[in-house]
Amino acid sequence: MTSAAHTAPANEQTYDVHRIKADFPILAQQVHGHPLVYLDNAATTQKPRAVISALEHYYAADNANIHRGVHELSGRATKQYEEARAAVRAFLNAADDREIIFVRGATEGINLVADSFGRSFRAGDEIIVSTMEHHSNIVPWQMLCERSGAVLKVVPIDDDGEFLMDEYEKLLSPRTRMVGIVHQSNSLGTVNPVKETIARAHAAGARVLVDGAQAAPHQRLDVRALDTDFYVLSGHKMYGPTGIGVLYGKRELLESMPPYQGGGDMILSVSFEKTVYNKLPYKFEAGTPHIAGPIGLKAAIDYMQAVGLERIAAHEHELLAYGCELLAEIPGLRMIGTAAVRSSVLSFVLEGIHPHDIGTILDREGIAIRTGHHCAQPVMARYGVPATARASLAMYNSRSDVEALARGLRKTIEVFS
Amino acid sequence: MDDLRDLYQEVILDHGKHPRNFRKAPAANRTAHGYNPLCGDQVEIFLELDEGGVVKDICFQGSGCAISTASTSMMTQALKGKTLAQARALFEEFHALITGTGEPDPEKLGKLAVFSGVREFPNRAKCATLAWHTMCAALENRAEPVSTE
Ligand SMILES: Cc1ncc(COP(=O)(O)O)c(C=O)c1O
């Protein structure tokens, strides 16, 4: 197993996981009489004090509506909102702040593209997605197909949960308009070869949307190196607040696309005869946005960068390897998702014990994992399981957390024996 | 650990692993589908009612966690030979037991009282009651699947 995006050697001495953990107030609690072991990070991550303080400070000191007031507070709020856009631009290594659109989350980002970019799709056009997509990168395209008569094609995965490049190549054709692919799978942990996927799509004349909701907290991103057309993020999965996400789009594409929603802020002038839409990025940000959201997200990005993206990735990579080792010793445990390049996800089933029961027993030990289909029912169908148990790692998890998981699983087996 | 033992009592584990009446009923005249989208539990209930409205046979198929499988299994045992009215009344008792509302009657519940531990696990209540909701749908011959959500 190799990790996607780092070269720095992991070193527990220089990576002080306990100090990092101490920055996340929620983690210092007992659950059912045990110290909380939070391993449901793929669902949502916890927030460092820096993010909580940024939100509090914004509401306590600077709250005002943006882009419209002449007064001091509005100026401050606008400045911080736009500084957050610049921070996200730098985080993604995008070329231009105007390519960063604030949305509610990855889901809304994908819906925006399917709705707006998809408006020109016609019967016979084709959209390709992979089997391991989150429902949010399936359903908006299905809805677009229903509206437009376009056809959805699905790239299969193998038993390890690897994207099958050759099968993908066979599906590409001049009819392909759009390829939707997840950068890192939330149900399997697979890190997909998105750069090659994008290059091949471009060679066929198609555009690509990469779902980066899970990749963002685990590796350094570079939308220009990938040459992706669209990239989406969810703030809450990268230590930021809920309700804020990002759509990155190449400027010429965004320029050419019709607005997604109509309202205030997205217009230059309105009359009943003619309304002129605003320029990027405001064309896609109708109405008063979640102003505190980007401000909190910037604090999260700053925090991740202060710890070091490569160091986080190295730490999590080592922890994943350790977790795999410990889980391999558990009798009757089968890993779901064993791709060569993967990150932060331990998805598994236990023989004769339903994931839901595992989840309940671990919860009583203070261990939070996710059980279910992880909004990836096609993946469950592919593996012939109704659900899996999933432990997912973040920068604040330590070796003792995965040890607690292994202990909890042995206890689960004991309860059921 | 104690409330875990209360939840996963021997009887429940046994029914979870070896569900009774786990089959299709060739003569079923009432069926319904139940689904819990949160955990993926699926159940299909087959009922054979005689002319007098008595449950002559009841069985099920599907997949689910220990709580939902055991609950379905024990429900089928409890309902055989009961009238429609008795079946509904028993569901009321069971529901009261699971949700901790009202005063369930241990006499009426019989073996089903082993599910009392579920009360301490509110997010597992749906696992225990899916079969019962589905059974009610079967009695009414409702076509659309029952969902816990
Ligand atoms: C891979 C992936 N894509 C998209 C999403 C959707 O994110 P959100 O619900 O924040 O819009 C998720 C969330 O689980 C995810 O894991």
Q: What are phi and psi of A291, to 5 degrees?
A: -60, -40
A41, part of any domain: no
Q: Is B12 helix (H, G, I), strand (E, B) or coil?
A: helix
Q: Which atom of ligand 1 is nearest to the CA of A183?
A: 1
- The rounded mean pLDDT for chain A is 95
Distance from CA of B31 to the nearest CA of A (A): 22
A5, part of any domain: no
Same domain, A292 and A232: yes
Confidence of residue B144 (pLDDT cuts 50, 70, 90): confident
Lowest mean pLDDT of A70-74, A99-103, A192-196, A316-320, name the range. A70-74
pLDDT at B123 over 60: yes
CATH code of A337's domain: 3.90.1150.10
Distance of CA A215 from the midpoint of ligand 1 (Å)? 11
Final residue of a structural domain among A249, A276, A305: A305
A6, part of any domain: no
Q: Which of A39, A393, A336, A378 is nearest to A188 (CA)?
A: A336
Are B42 and A386 within 8 A, CB to CB? yes
- pLDDT given for residue B38 in this prediction: 76
Confidence of residue A260 (pLDDT cuts 50, 70, 90): very high
Which residue's structure tokens are 């990268």? A238
Same domain, A318 and A366: yes
**Looking at the partner chain, which of B4, B5, B65 has a beta carbon nearest the beta carbon of A354?**
B65
Q: Residue by residue, what is the 3-state secondary structure of chain A? A: CECCCCCCCCCCCCCCHHHHHHCCHHHCCEECCEECEECECCCCCCCCHHHHHHHHHHHHHHCCCCCCCCCHHHHHHHHHHHHHHHHHHHHHCCCCHHHEEEECCHHHHHHHHHHHHHHHCCCCCEEEEECCCCHHHCHHHHHHHHHHCCEEEEECECCCCCECHHHHHHHCCCCEEEEEEECECCCCCEECCHHHHHHHHHHCCCEEEEECCCCCCCCCCCHHHHCCCEEEEEHHHHCCCCCCEEEEECHHHHHHCCCCCCCCCCEEECCCCCCEECCCCHHHCCCCCCCHHHHHHHHHHHHHHHHCHHHHHHHHHHHHHHHHHHHHCCCCEEECCCCCEECCEEEEEECCECHHHHHHHHHHCCEECEEECCCCHHHHHHHCCCCEEEEECCCCCCHHHHHHHHHHHHHHHHHHC
A375 is catalytic: yes
Quote the CA–CA distance of B131 and A45 in Å, as a whole number: 34
Over residues A374-385, the mean pLDDT reads 93
Over residues A281-301, the mean pLDDT reads 97
- pLDDT given for residue A8 in this prediction: 42
Is residue A36 within 8 Å of residue A394, measured between CB atoms? Answer: no
A10, part of any domain: no
Quote the CA–CA distance of A338 and A162 in Å, as a whole number: 8
Residue A113 lies in domain: 52-305
Query: Best interface-test mutation with A: which of B1, B2, B4 has the largest number of A CBs within 10 A?
Result: B4
Final residue of a structural domain among A305, A332, A347: A305
What digits encode the pLDDT tens for the residues A142-157? 999 999 999 999 999 9
- pLDDT given for residue A7 in this prediction: 40
Residues belonging to chain B with any Cβ–Cβ distance to chain A shorter than 8 Å? 1, 3-5, 7-8, 13, 17, 38-42, 63-67, 69, 121, 124, 127
- pLDDT given for residue B41 in this prediction: 87
Same domain, A249 and A320: no
How many structural domains is chain A composed of? 2
CB atoms within 10 A of CB A408: 23
How many percent of chain B have pLDDT more than 90?
Answer: 74
Q: Which two tokens stand for residue A283?
A: 């064309």
CATH code of A101's domain: 3.40.640.10
Question: Strands A176-182, A207-211: parallel, antiparallel or unpaired by DSSP?
Answer: parallel
Burial of A346 (0-12, 13-18, 19+ CB in 10 A): buried
What digits encode the pLDDT tens for the residues B87-118? 999 999 999 999 988 788 889 999 999 999 99
Quote the CA–CA distance of B90 and A230 in Å, as a whole number: 56
What digits encode the pLDDT tens for the residues A335-364? 999 999 999 999 999 999 999 999 999 999
- pLDDT given for residue A241 in this prediction: 98
In Å, how far are A5, A18, A46 from A25, measured between CA atoms? 29, 12, 9
Q: Is B137 helix (H, G, I), strand (E, B) or coil?
A: helix
pLDDT at A305 over 70: yes
Same domain, A246 and A378: no
Confidence of residue A5 (pLDDT cuts 50, 70, 90): very low
- pLDDT given for residue A86 in this prediction: 98
pLDDT at A1 over 90: no
Quote the CA–CA distance of B99 and B78 in Å, as a whole number: 19
A3, part of any domain: no
Cβ contacts of residue B41 below 8 Å, gap of 6+? A356, A386, B34, B35, B62, B63, B64, B65, B68, B127, B130
How many percent of chain B have pLDDT more than 70?
Answer: 99
Same domain, A269 and A376: no
- pLDDT given for residue A358 in this prediction: 97
Measured from CB, residues less than 6 Å from any atom of ligand 1 are: A 42, 105-107, 134, 136, 182, 186, 211, 213-214, 234, 375
A1, part of any domain: no
Final residue of a structural domain among A305, A330, A357: A305
Confidence of residue B142 (pLDDT cuts 50, 70, 90): confident
Rg for chain A (alpha carbons), in Å? 22
**Looking at the partner chain, which of A353, A372, A415 has a beta carbon nearest the beta carbon of B39?**
A372
Same domain, A354 and A388: yes
Query: Best interface-test mutation with A: which of B10, B18, B65, B68 has the largest number of A CBs within 10 A?
Result: B65
pLDDT at B63 over 60: yes
Same domain, A293 and A387: no
Same domain, A205 and A343: no
Over residues A79-103, the mean pLDDT reads 98
Distance of CA A232 from the midpoint of ligand 1 (Å)? 9
A45, part of any domain: no
pLDDT at A11 over 80: no
Name B22's bridge partners.
B60
Same domain, A301 and A312: no
pLDDT at A28 over 60: yes
Confidence of residue B1 (pLDDT cuts 50, 70, 90): low
- pLDDT given for residue B3 in this prediction: 84
A337, part of any domain: yes
Quote the CA–CA distance of A341 and A345 in Å, as a whole number: 11
Same domain, A210 and A335: no
Quote the CA–CA distance of A340 and A273 in Å, as a whole number: 58
Same domain, A367 and A334: yes
Same domain, A95 and A58: yes
pLDDT at B39 over 80: no
Distance from CA of B41 to the nearest CA of A (A): 7
How many percent of chain A have pLDDT more than 90?
Answer: 94
Quote the CA–CA distance of A30 and A38 in Å, as a whole number: 11
What digits encode the pLDDT tens for the residues A45-67? 999 999 999 999 999 999 999 98
